[in-house]
Amino acid sequence: MVKVAFQGVAGAYSEEAVRQYFGPTVESVPCHTLDELFPLVENGQVNFAMLPVENAVAGSVAGAYELLLERDLRINAEVILHVHHMLMAAPGTKREAIKRVRSHPQALAQCQQYLSRHDLAGEPAFDTAGSARDLAANPEPEVAVIASALAAELYGLEIVDRAIEDYRFNYTRFFVMGLEDPPRAQRPKTSIVFSTRHSPGALYKSMGEFAVRGINLTKIESRPRLNQPWRYTFYLDFEGHCQDVACEAALMGLLRHSSFVKLLGSYPAATTPVVEERE
């Protein structure tokens, strides 16, 4: 059986991503922090780790990109999870009885319009699935939580209202991290991290290596270099495989303008799910 580590407690959105990609028979292994994911794969305790890297509403996940730079696992795939926030409570709780809603601050923020419309007070908690677990263990008649449908299923809570997020395009992007490179895909994407020399036009010249070869860039993000104040690394995604002739030439050209380049992986590109219409 495939074993996949994720950050959070059982029922977290990361575990939903694990099940979406690997199927319902996968063995999910919860971890307290993102830092714990990589050693589990490196030591052979799990086959893969599910690493969240960015959310379409909230932006990049703090710490995820630094781990990609510091550790040596390879990206095996990307997963796009359409995050649906569910309002859930102890079985038998009436909607009109709910006064307070607990969840992770980010989940509360992503449902702020819903909470305001129904005059519900948000109460920040450590995480979404943990809030569901705790409410199931200690039911409170006026309290509901925001978490995933999987959390409601695992902890025996009743979903009072579905898909209460303010934005329909609430997607989270994950990387499946493993020890080896994946087989070549029909529609590949490549991720790298690099740092330019401190000279005029260095980033412009670096991007030019891809532009002149007609390679489409799908993401570029700068992050501070933790050991060098006011210096930056750049995380770049582009369409194509690192062994494609044009991509390989672009990477070789990038080396001429950079102080370092690290290949994070070439992997199958995911397709963003279609946004459903609200009723």
| Residues tagged active-site | 172, 174
Sign of the Cα torsion 8, 10, 14, 15 reads positive
Are the C-beta atoms of residues 73 and 179 closer than 8 Å to each other? yes
9: tokens are 């407690």
Bridge partners of 235, per DSSP, are 193, 221
> Phi and psi for 13 in degrees, rounded to 5?
-60, -30
Q: Any idea how long the chain is?
A: 279
Find all residues with CB under 8 Å of 70, minimum gap 6, and list them.
none
Bridge partners of 178, per DSSP, are 74
